[in-house]
Chains A and B, each alone.
Chain A
């Protein structure tokens, strides 16, 4: 494998799974040209005039789609760890004797562990998508045949529209659908809110299969997926485990240290003058992020400030803010609890979005760069503010990128993170895997103080008279090392097992095999 040093100083392969790859050139430096990919022309002649596209099983649908060895199949993570469909797809492919498939999920979860068996028996050649849990371990240990390719949500859209990834068959699990293939995620026993991650697949894949456990007569209203893009509809008993799709109640962290980090993050936003009428913010559904949203909500209430919009990952807390008039809109990429699903279904100001509108970097702008402030997680940050979100400090694939890389485009990117976890420093000399360039990461909020990126003199000035504990990132790192001891250098093998794509499709870093 030929490796070159990219603009971030990381060694990356020049070829990935047999196709040439572009090394990262710097933020905003890679400008592609040409036209987007286009789906093939179809004719109504091939589809039933009565609109009934139902076939009896996933296996039958795959057969009618013309499944062949080496094809790329996609699926989506709207059901998170409660997905019951993707495994059935590969079981069916195995029964059909198919080999060497490429699985292109929008994300994989521990429930997809059976795919490992299909990689061992040759049905699946590789996974191109985020891997964690057992799949992450399988890839990290070098067992996967091809290279893993990790993309952000926006990067996945970009890869599809740019023709970098061609999807032969997209399988879309839909909480409610009609026989024509119109589908929605906001209702039905497996309701997950929205189907935005499957939108690109429905538009660009050669063949599209809808799998549902809640078939309604035409028309399915609203239709988040257009039946006009759909080839077949399969009805099954169950497509997901509801309690694993969205949680009934969302958990806020109870750790006093994490609560303090969340509170300091909210205070920073207030003191820096970012929290003002008409502002916008985004936070995730992790325990610390939720707590942050609650502290911010209380500060907004106290100051009488209203946000124009919230970008989410929604939970009941964002929904409450919308309903209490603390925000005009929620622009939502995925719902994390039942309240989020309900609000999206019922409240016209709770809008479902897709990676196209929110994150796609090869478009005429996106929402991410308009955000006033985002709060995101990370596993490691280095003293240049470069951050890692996909591997653990031991080098194992741990998380997907999700929207993380895309969100870095915001006007102020904050990482609320502990300064160490179980003796493992979070602030390091050099991140194990580079996912986000330091020039896009503005503030680190730890329990031991807040470090502002020296590139952001404006933020340093904005909070210089506050009583926030502003320190340099080096000071915080030194304090942690004095407690934990200086760690030795992590030893990884030379073999590359996966690559991390930047939002423009270039390769920002390689993931190496762990011993």
Chain B
């Protein structure tokens, strides 16, 4: 008795995806039934991709149907692998891995820019192909809430393949894993696929961070990978809020701390208000915990993709509270977020004055100086230096601005 395994999506409205059905049989070799919207250019290559794929997956006799709506090879491979896994639930099926693109192997750093991070649903290939052109600081392929329970297996295979094949340019390669314990099984394929940041959803304890840390380090060691993989826990519950500091300090891999509001407010029995007073404590808590641990506090997503003015106000407020980044769910939000996290000309100029005046004062052996009517002391200078750093990163100021100033 054989089961038919299917994966992917079919129908006229589907784009950049395909639908695969695999039915293992006793004899007769592989019987193909391939329909492709791009067959006039890729019929032969699709057929050999499927044929080679089945061989690697260990299938010699099967009926295979493919309905392709212009899926890229890594997508076809992912759907094929998932279909075979579903057809053979009790068999050990090998991974059908696309070749690693050298462009995916760029390292990241602890303190790099994380102003914007764009969430993409992990089982939807069409959004992944061009996402880098919108230049978010990070791209999150999501395995958690945007993927329905029955597609979790398919999404993991697709996200793994996407990470192996797609060069995201300068965007940091992030995945939001599933909640533990399921998420722990996802670590190895993702680490091998050159993920750089794992977001741990609904994180409530240091223990959970430690479990993920162990899994990451084991996977890196097994695969002999040199580049670091960092963690960004997402706190989404009152208990997690109380444990925010220990979560932030749990592991040297944690580089940033963020939070989610929907579940948190539901657990509070709170209500969303326009002023967002219901989450002020939580936001402050996250920022304080992150700062105390020396990592980046990052704000949650802004859900209204139609209202860019409201988004800008929201980001300015987040920045004022101390956040360094914001989540987004639509590419058009990215430039608004970047702009709001970029110091204005006025702020940059002010920071320049402060830093220059202070250095002048230090040369004269003083630790306090006044610029205009304001007194400048070390904490103010530290703030100004942060502003300068932001301005340089945003291209508003040259990194050698001081030398230029002197010359």
Q: Please report the C-alpha to C-alpha distance between residue A121 and residue B134 in the assembled complex, in whole angstroms.
A: 54
Q: Which residues of A contact B133 (CB under 8 A)?
A: 257, 260, 447-448
Interface-side segment among B39-47, B293-301, B313-321, B340-348: B39-47
- A483-B40 contact in complex given A256-B134, A260-B134, A423-B72, C-beta closer than 8 Å: no
Query: Whose C-beta in chain B lies nearest to the C-beta of A469?
Result: B133
- Is A487 touching B42 in the complex (CB atoms < 8 A)? yes
- A423-B40 contact in complex given A256-B330, A483-B72, A484-B72, C-beta closer than 8 Å: no
Which of A424, A467, A483 is B129 in contact with, Cβ under 8 Å?
A483
Q: Which of B16, B41, B134 has the most CB of A within 10 A?
A: B41
- A394-B40 contact in complex given A422-B15, A423-B16, C-beta closer than 8 Å: yes
A interface, over-half SS: loop
Interface residues as binary, B89-129 with A (CB distance below 8 Å gives 1, 0 otherwise): 00000000000010000000000000000000000000001
- Is A422 touching B130 in the complex (CB atoms < 8 A)? no
Q: Which residues of A contact B330 (CB under 8 A)?
A: 256
Q: Please report the C-alpha to C-alpha distance between residue A447 and residue B38 in the assembled complex, in whole angstroms.
A: 21
Q: Please report the C-alpha to C-alpha distance between residue A483 and residue B98 in the assembled complex, in whole angstroms.
A: 12
- Is A422 touching B45 in the complex (CB atoms < 8 A)? no
Within 8 Å of chain B (Cβ to Cβ): is A45? no
Q: Which residues of A contact B332 (CB under 8 A)?
A: 256, 259
Within 8 Å of chain B (Cβ to Cβ): is A474? no
**Tally of chain B residues near chain A (CB < 8 A):** 26
- Is B70 touching A423 in the complex (CB atoms < 8 A)? yes
Q: Which residues of B contact A482 (CB under 8 A)?
A: 101
Q: Please report the C-alpha to C-alpha distance between residue A153 and residue B304 in the assembled complex, in whole angstroms.
A: 44
Nearest Cβ distance between residue B67 and chain A, in whole angstroms? 13
Within 8 Å of chain B (Cβ to Cβ): is A369? no
- Is B331 touching A423 in the complex (CB atoms < 8 A)? no
Within 8 Å of chain A (Cβ to Cβ): is B73? yes
Nearest Cβ distance between residue B66 and chain A, in whole angstroms? 14
Q: Which residues of A contact B165 (CB under 8 A)?
A: 483
Q: Which residues of A contact B129 (CB under 8 A)?
A: 483
Within 8 Å of chain A (Cβ to Cβ): is B387? no
- Is B331 touching A488 in the complex (CB atoms < 8 A)? no
- A393-B40 contact in complex given A256-B330, A484-B72, A485-B73, C-beta closer than 8 Å: yes
User: Chain A interface residue count: which class?
Assistant: 20 to 34
- Is A423 touching B38 in the complex (CB atoms < 8 A)? yes
Which of A423, A448, A467, A491 is B42 in contact with, Cβ under 8 Å?
A423
Nearest Cβ distance between residue B308 and chain A, in whole angstroms? 12
Within 8 Å of chain A (Cβ to Cβ): is B37? yes
- Is A490 touching B70 in the complex (CB atoms < 8 A)? no
Which of B38, B44, B101, B166 is A422 in contact with, Cβ under 8 Å?
B38
Nearest Cβ distance between residue B342 and chain A, in whole angstroms? 14
Query: Whose C-beta in chain A lies nearest to the C-beta of B73?
Result: A485
Within 8 Å of chain A (Cβ to Cβ): is B69? yes
Interface residues as binary, B48-87 with A (CB distance below 8 Å gives 1, 0 otherwise): 0000000000000000000001111100000000000000
Nearest Cβ distance between residue A375 and chain B, in whole angstroms? 19
Q: Which residues of B contact A483 (CB under 8 A)?
A: 72, 129, 165-166
- Is B130 touching A257 in the complex (CB atoms < 8 A)? yes
Nearest Cβ distance between residue B283 and chain A, in whole angstroms? 28
Q: Please report the C-alpha to C-alpha distance between residue A447 and residue B16 in the assembled complex, in whole angstroms.
A: 17
Nearest Cβ distance between residue B259 and chain A, in whole angstroms? 26
Q: Which of B38, B69, B70, B129 has the most CB of A within 10 A?
A: B38
- Is A256 touching B331 in the complex (CB atoms < 8 A)? yes
Interface residues as binary, A421-436 with B (CB distance below 8 Å gives 1, 0 otherwise): 1111000000000000
- Is B41 touching A422 in the complex (CB atoms < 8 A)? no
Query: Whose C-beta in chain A lies nearest to the C-beta of B16?
Result: A422
Q: Which residues of A contact B395 (CB under 8 A)?
A: 467
Interface residues as binary, A248-282 with B (CB distance below 8 Å gives 1, 0 otherwise): 00000000110110000000000000000000000
Q: Which residues of B contact A394 (CB under 8 A)?
A: 40-41
- Is A485 touching B70 in the complex (CB atoms < 8 A)? no
Q: Please report the C-alpha to C-alpha distance between residue A94 and residue B262 in the assembled complex, in whole angstroms.
A: 67
Interface residues as binary, A391-433 with B (CB distance below 8 Å gives 1, 0 otherwise): 0011100000000000000000000000001111000000000
Nearest Cβ distance between residue B131 and chain A, in whole angstroms? 9
Which of B38, B73, B101 is A424 in contact with, Cβ under 8 Å?
B38
Q: Please report the C-alpha to C-alpha distance between residue A251 and residue B118 in the assembled complex, in whole angstroms.
A: 26
- Is B16 touching A485 in the complex (CB atoms < 8 A)? no
Query: Whose C-beta in chain A lies nearest to the C-beta of B38?
Result: A423
- Is A488 touching B16 in the complex (CB atoms < 8 A)? no
A/B interface sample: 24 pairs, CB < 8 A: A256-B134, A256-B330, A256-B332, A257-B130, A260-B134, A260-B331, A394-B40, A394-B41, A421-B70, A422-B37, A422-B70, A423-B38, A423-B41, A423-B70, A424-B41, A424-B70, A447-B133, A482-B101, A483-B129, A487-B42, A488-B44, A488-B45, A490-B40, A490-B41
The 4 closest A-B pairs by CB, nearest first: A422-B70, A487-B41, A256-B331, A423-B70
| A residues apposed to B, CB below 8 Å | 256-257, 259-260, 393-395, 421-424, 447-448, 467, 482-485, 487-488, 490-491
| B residues apposed to A, CB below 8 Å | 15-16, 37-38, 40-45, 69-73, 101, 129-130, 133-134, 165-166, 330-332, 395
Q: A260-B331, A394-B40 are in contact. List 10 more A-B contacts (CB 8 A).
A: A256-B332, A257-B133, A393-B41, A422-B15, A423-B41, A448-B133, A467-B395, A483-B129, A484-B72, A485-B45
